[in-house]
């Protein structure tokens, strides 16, 4: 429950902080939904989705760099999750 609330509040903060700049397109589902609703130009979809994917890859790389500095780090089961390996 705590992790879900943390992610939800983070997205909410980002929408309030950057929504006026980016239109709050933090997820491709938002972009596609706006396009399907006729509120977004078809010519802009590819660039928005490409930017979202590149942003996700960059964020994963930063997370990996931070986590790999911890002693005993193992890229495997449970990476970036709350599951514990047996």
Phi, psi torsion values for 11, nearest 5 degrees = -65, -40
28-46 average pLDDT score: 88
Tokens of 38: 């006729």
Q: What does the alpha-carbon distance between residue 43 and residue 11 come to, in Å, rounded to a whole number?
A: 26
Helix (H, G, I), strand (E, B) or coil at 30: helix
Position of tokens 């902080």?
17
75-79 average pLDDT score: 64
Phi, psi torsion values for 75, nearest 5 degrees = -75, 100
pLDDT score of 29 more than 60: yes
Q: What is the pLDDT of residue 3?
A: 84
């Amino acid at each position: 429950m705590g992790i879900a609330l943390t992610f939800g509040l983070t997205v909410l903060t980002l929408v309030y902080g950057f929504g006026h700049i980016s239109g709050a397109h933090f997820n491709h589902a938002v972009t596609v939904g706006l396009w399907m609703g006729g509120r977004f130009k078809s010519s802009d979809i590819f660039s928005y989705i490409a930017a979202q994917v590149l942003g996700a890859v960059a964020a994963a790389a930063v997370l990996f760099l931070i986590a790999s500095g911890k002693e005993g780090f193992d890229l495997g089961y449970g990476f970036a999750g709350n599951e514990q390996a047996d």
